[in-house]
Amino acid sequence: MKPLLTVISLLCCLLPVSAQHNPDQITVFFPAFGGDTTLGRNVSTVLSLQLAQTTRKAPWPDNPNKLDFGRGIIKWSPDSLNLTQQDVAIRTAQQAKLLAQMVVLGSTQRFGNNVVVEVEVLLPRYQAAYPGCSSNSRLPCDYRKQHLELWPLRCQQLHLYTPLPRRRYHMAGIVLDDDVVEKFRAVKGLPITATLNTTQIIGYTGDDLQFLEFNRHLNNAPTKLRSQGLEGYVSLPKISRQSSEFADMTGGLLQLFRGDWQAAHSSFSRVLANPVTRIPLQVDAYLLRGMVQFRRGHNGLTDILTAADLAPYDAGAARYQLAAMLAAGTALPEVKQVLREKRFLFDADDKWLEEVEQFISCRADAG
């Protein structure tokens, strides 16, 4: 595989300095999409721009708590990986030279007269930062000091960390506009203009993308970048007539990894408001929005119970339901009842289930 090409995306993490600060870099691995080579590369470039523009370095213009989002990177590879190569993508992401927390895979496929982009977001597993990395573990270590995607609860000296409900997210197929298909197959990259207010093209994006700044609020959301030895602006084209949940769901996950609870809440809310979002992704959006509500100091139990009703036999939803009930101060007999009802969803030796039972006992002893 060719060397990975780093794309600096000005990403960061929202955490009060006095209460929580993310000292870790969060990395997204973005291989070129499989399928039609030129088309796949151009579509993956557009989606990486969409993802990068869902982030922010700090609240603006007001930041009274001096919140700092830390550092984040998108690493973009010119080598394509298709949707059947998920194991390869995970192993690549876990290599010491990369250590990516997220992988975005995609493939362009023709169905009848339509060209459809299928997208999978994968979250590689690493050793947790608590209590620290071990050379005896089967999982690699990504050397983060905090794992903000884990939902922490505390009872006296006992900590319960609830993992994300799943590590793989499938986005609905994006049906590409005919003119986008024709244009993206005709050129090897996206057109670069020298300034915002000119249509004169000075070149096209190549494999060496470097994002410099984003202008989300301007028409076509232009991005300033460097590529092929050129520095200029690329407009973010609309690639489909139908809205896609990709930018909101993937952006929400990235914001969650970086502790940007307010922005993540907004992202998951847009996923739920999108009429094309399928039930499985609605379940995830409800779960994650509910968890984020708790992390913001609010009560997210309603969202999580909604997800549990939509997916009563989902172990990830069951974990979140139990954690949410504990976080909301639900009476312990009710928590124990749900635990009895949901136990069959877990392996007999499930470590998290043992920890939640210890946590319930601690709460009972604390009275």
DSSP output for 220-288: T--EEEEETTEEEEE------SS--SHHHHHHHHHHHHTT-HHHHHHHHHHHHH-TT--HHHHHHHHHH
Q: What percent of the chain has pLDDT over 70?
A: 85
Residue (of 60, 122, 59, 281) closest to 289 by Cα position: 281
Q: What would the DSSP string read from start to end of 179-207?
A: HHHHHHHHSSS-EEESSTT---EEEE--S
Extract the runs of DSSP E, i.e. beta strands, from 82-205. 102-111, 114-122, 151-155, 158-162, 168-175, 191-193, 201-204
Residue 166 has pLDDT above 90, yes or no: yes
Structure-token match 């030796």, residue found: 349
**Contact, 67 vs 16, CB < 8 A?**
yes
Cα(345)–Cα(352) distance, integer angstroms? 12
- At 72, is the secondary structure helix, strand, or coil? strand
Model confidence over 105-130: pLDDT tens digits? 999 888 888 888 899 999 999 998 77
Q: What is the pTM of this model?
A: 0.85
The helix (H) or strand (E) run that includes residue 8 is strand 5-11
Residue 309 has pLDDT above 80, yes or no: yes
Q: Please work out, in degrees rounded to the nearest 5, the angle formed at the alpha carbon of residue 206 by the alpha carbons of 205 and 211.
A: 60
Question: What residues are paired with 188 via a beta bridge?
Answer: none
Model confidence over 40-80: pLDDT tens digits? 888 888 888 778 777 665 555 566 666 565 666 778 887 88
**Contact, 282 vs 265, CB < 8 A?**
no
**Contact, 28 vs 101, CB < 8 A?**
yes
Mean pLDDT, range 116-145, rounded to an integer: 87
- Omega into 3 within 30° of 0, i.e. cis? no
Which one has a higher pLDDT value, 51 or 292?
292
Strand 25-33, strand 71-81: pairing:
parallel
Residue (of 54, 112, 57, 93) closest to 252 by Cα position: 54
Dihedral sign from CA coordinates of 196, 41, 243, 9 = negative
Q: What is the pLDDT of residue 59?
A: 56
Q: What is the pLDDT of residue 65?
A: 65
On average, the pLDDT of the chain sits at 85
Angle between helices 332-342 and 315-327 (to 10 degrees): 170
| Among 42-56, 82-96, 317-331, the least confident range | 42-56
Six-digit token pair at 251? Answer: 């952006």
Six-digit token pair at 330? Answer: 């639900």
